[in-house]
Amino acid sequence: MTLDASVGWWVAAGVTVAAELATGTFYLLMCALGLAAGALAAHVGLPTSLQFVSAALVGGGAVALWHVRRRSHPRAPASANPDVNLDIGERVHVTHWDADGCARVHYRGAQWSARWAGDAPPQTGVCVIRAVEGNHLLLGR
């Protein structure tokens, strides 16, 4: 039994995907795309050198594009990222602000210390949680 060159490419792509699942490095998926392109080039019957070129171009191009995309869309810090902290975006009711811009609010069945993080002066009423720093809620409108 002889193995076609594409089998090696597919096995390498599968191993790369498994490594990505184990490590969580999204760049490995981009490399796996390149390996899949090499496998498709082998299926078409291209010579080995062109299989490597297609794998390098697709994989390298995907890595470069993903890198540029990540640089152009910086992530918010964890304290202000709603994907990390589910409290962000929730509403609380403020009845009184102290002179230093702090307040005590009732949230999730407990009293929290809150600070104003908005552009305008602090106002009583419904405020939105913008970030969480330690045990302080940063509020805004």
pLDDT band at 105 (very low <50, low <70, confident <90, very high): very high
Q: What's the rounded Cα separation, in Å, for the pair 109 and 64?
A: 48
3-state secondary structure (DSSP) of residue 114: strand
Tens digit of each residue's pLDDT (9 = 90 or more) over 47-57: 999 999 999 99
pTM metric for this prediction: 0.58
- Residue 124, pLDDT > 60, answer yes
Q: How many CB atoms lie within 10 A of CB 140?
A: 14
Tens digit of each residue's pLDDT (9 = 90 or more) over 2-25: 578 889 999 999 999 999 999 988
* Domains of the chain by residue range: 5-72, 78-140
| Burial 44-71, CB ≥16 within 10 A → b, else e | eebeeeebeebbeebbeebbeeeeeeee
| pLDDT at site 2 | 53
Averaged pLDDT score across all residues of the chain: 89
Tens digit of each residue's pLDDT (9 = 90 or more) over 36-90: 999 999 999 999 999 999 999 999 999 999 999 888 887 777 777 777 778 888 9
CATH class of 78-140: mainly beta
pLDDT band at 104 (very low <50, low <70, confident <90, very high): very high
Tens digit of each residue's pLDDT (9 = 90 or more) over 127-141: 999 988 888 999 988
